[in-house]
A and B are shown apart, each in its own frame.
Chain A
């Protein structure tokens, strides 16, 4: 088996997993709904459409986290994983194919979420409502939102590979991204090194004094580098 075949096989598995499709569709819909809701309050404050979409990103990341964890953990419930190993004995190839398939899925969903949210907000809130037009910097922030969501999805995929079970991986990622940052953020300034805090610089303007969007991306990459090789090594060396 070569890499393109493995990637298309993994993509086919995800495409035919009902909960993965539901999760992707749900993320897009929830993101659009929340962006529209937030845009209603943003018009009163003289914001723009990308600001509302940026505020909806923390909500959309929840669906992306589930999607990323599903991409790696769905095979371990039941015996499907052993079938995959029988089909692709080369574990390095298998984990590469899985990860690239997860990356494609998560990136596509992120792109759709941000795009559809932006479109729905622009359509439902006419500029005459008080919603200012998007500047060039704000359009870059939309791209940053897509990048951030993709990063979080791939991080969830790595955590899923490590945990091998859906519930522990899901609870850990949700705690890391949703529960821990506000609690630590109120206590110490070092909470800026947490993935969602560092990543928020990609889609929120000037959220932190020390990090910039570029360094925020580097911090996210650092988190991936910390978990990715560990996940790959575990995948290759563990039993099944």
Chain B
């Protein structure tokens, strides 16, 4: 099978997987809900004449607050389920087989299969970013209107949006690679979702050793560009952090690809 055909078939498989749409929908709805809540609070403070009660009256910051973290969880779920669904056993009366055997029968060339799956993860996370990021910012802008003072310039807004989309894409690819290695979605989901919350193992490790700032999720967290007073200080700058996180994603993709190519199923 050619790469194009393999990618199209993987696209169809992922598009008909309920977990993918659940992740995309919940990312969109969850971030919209929190953006609406945030924007209404800001508008109420502005119309009451007490803008100092809220941290920021910028509509960009209002729309940007919750969306990055929720999107990371969505990207992780997409990355994990694209390959994790292949290794889920069927029902016992249907033979208890895993979908991976059918997939490998249809596409015996494993590198093609791996590359097409990785591209589909990238495609779905990019689509999610294209809808969620501008949508949230526009929604916050619509609710707050002209009342707020915009503290974020256009170039900075574009940079931060692209940085967030990059973080989501790299996190999705990381989740994909780790799930290829573990062949089950449970542990990657548990570890990665925990790491993207405040209860983060990597963040805890940074208290023990500064080397932990080179872990992929720690290296890339400044890509979101949150104002300095609301994040834990330290870590790499956005661009070096993006390079480090990209290197991690590439390295894990290569390792997972080699393992996928060589082992049984």
Chain A residues within CB distance 8 Å of chain B: 19, 34, 37-38, 40-41, 58-59, 62, 66, 77-80, 166-168, 170-171, 174-175, 178-179, 182-184, 186-188
Q: Which residues of chain B are within 8 angstroms of A166 by Cβ–Cβ distance?
A: 186
B23's nearest neighbour on chain A, judged by CB, is A171
Query: In the complex, are the beta carbons of A182 and B197 less than 8 A apart?
Result: yes
Q: Which of A37, A77, A171, A182 contacts B193 (CB 8 A)?
A: A171
Query: In the complex, are the beta carbons of B193 and A179 less than 8 A apart?
Result: yes
Q: Which of B19, B89, B93, B96 contacts A167 (CB 8 A)?
A: B19
Q: Which residues of chain B are within 8 angstroms of A167 by Cβ–Cβ distance?
A: 19, 77, 81, 84, 185-186, 189
Query: In the complex, are the beta carbons of A175 and B73 less than 8 A apart?
Result: yes
Query: In the complex, are the beta carbons of B204 and A178 less than 8 A apart?
Result: no
Query: In the complex, are the beta carbons of B186 and A66 less than 8 A apart?
Result: yes
Query: In the complex, are the beta carbons of A66 and B81 less than 8 A apart?
Result: no
Tell me whether B65 is interfacial, beta carbon within 8 Å.
yes
Tell me whether B254 is interfacial, beta carbon within 8 Å.
no
Chain B residues within CB distance 8 Å of chain A: 19, 22, 30, 34, 37-38, 41, 65-66, 69-70, 73, 77, 81, 84, 88-89, 91-93, 96, 185-186, 189-190, 193-194, 196-199, 201, 204, 207-208
Query: In the complex, are the beta carbons of A178 and B185 less than 8 A apart?
Result: no
Asked, given contacts A59-B199, A62-B199, A78-B91, whether A179 binds B37 with beta carbons under 8 Å apart, the answer is no
Query: In the complex, are the beta carbons of B207 and A41 less than 8 A apart?
Result: yes
Q: Which of B19, B81, B91, B190 contacts A174 (CB 8 A)?
A: B190
Query: In the complex, are the beta carbons of B186 and A174 less than 8 A apart?
Result: no
Q: Which residues of chain B are within 8 angstroms of A178 by Cβ–Cβ distance?
A: 193-194, 197-199
Query: In the complex, are the beta carbons of B70 and A37 less than 8 A apart?
Result: no
Q: Which of A34, A59, A170 contacts B189 (CB 8 A)?
A: A170
Main secondary structure of the interface of B (DSSP, over half): helix
Query: In the complex, are the beta carbons of B194 and A171 less than 8 A apart?
Result: no
A170's nearest neighbour on chain B, judged by CB, is B189
Main secondary structure of the interface of A (DSSP, over half): helix
Asked, given contacts A77-B89, A187-B41, whether A179 binds B189 with beta carbons under 8 Å apart, the answer is no
Asked, given contacts A34-B204, A78-B91, whether A183 binds B199 with beta carbons under 8 Å apart, the answer is no
Asked, given contacts A167-B185, A170-B186, A184-B34, whether A78 binds B92 with beta carbons under 8 Å apart, the answer is yes
Q: Which of A58, A170, A183, A188 contacts B65 (CB 8 A)?
A: A183
Q: Measured between alpha carbons, how far is A43 from B215 in the docked complex, in Å?
A: 26
B73's nearest neighbour on chain A, judged by CB, is A179
Query: What are 15 inter-chain pairs, A to B, with CB distance below 8 A?
Result: A37-B207, A62-B190, A78-B89, A79-B91, A167-B185, A167-B186, A168-B22, A171-B189, A174-B197, A179-B73, A179-B196, A183-B65, A183-B70, A184-B34, A187-B41
Give 9 A-B pairs besides A174-B189, A183-B69, A183-B70 with Cβ atoms closer than 8 angstroms.
A77-B88, A77-B89, A166-B186, A167-B84, A168-B22, A170-B190, A182-B197, A184-B34, A188-B41
Query: In the complex, are the beta carbons of A79 and B190 less than 8 A apart?
Result: no
Q: Measured between alpha carbons, how far is A167 from B190 in the docked complex, in Å?
A: 10
Q: Measured between alpha carbons, how far is A34 from B204 in the docked complex, in Å?
A: 8
Q: Which of A41, A78, A175 contacts B96 (CB 8 A)?
A: A78
A179's nearest neighbour on chain B, judged by CB, is B197
Q: Measured between alpha carbons, how far is A80 from B91 in the docked complex, in Å?
A: 9
Query: In the complex, are the beta carbons of A79 and B34 less than 8 A apart?
Result: no
Q: Measured between alpha carbons, how far is A34 from B207 in the docked complex, in Å?
A: 11
Q: Which of A168, A174, A179, A186 contacts B70 (CB 8 A)?
A: A179
| Most chain A CB neighbours (cut-off 10 Å) among B22, B81, B91 | B91
B198's nearest neighbour on chain A, judged by CB, is A182
How close is A137's CB to chain B, nearest CB, in angstroms?
25
Q: Which residues of chain A are within 8 angstroms of B22 by Cβ–Cβ distance?
A: 168
Top-4 shortest CB links A-B? A79-B92, A178-B197, A183-B66, A58-B199
Q: Measured between alpha carbons, how far is A186 from B91 in the docked complex, in Å?
A: 44
Query: In the complex, are the beta carbons of B204 and A37 less than 8 A apart?
Result: yes
How close is B59's CB to chain A, nearest CB, in angstroms?
15
How close is B156's CB to chain A, nearest CB, in angstroms?
21
Q: Which residues of chain B are within 8 angstroms of A78 by Cβ–Cβ distance?
A: 89, 91-92, 96
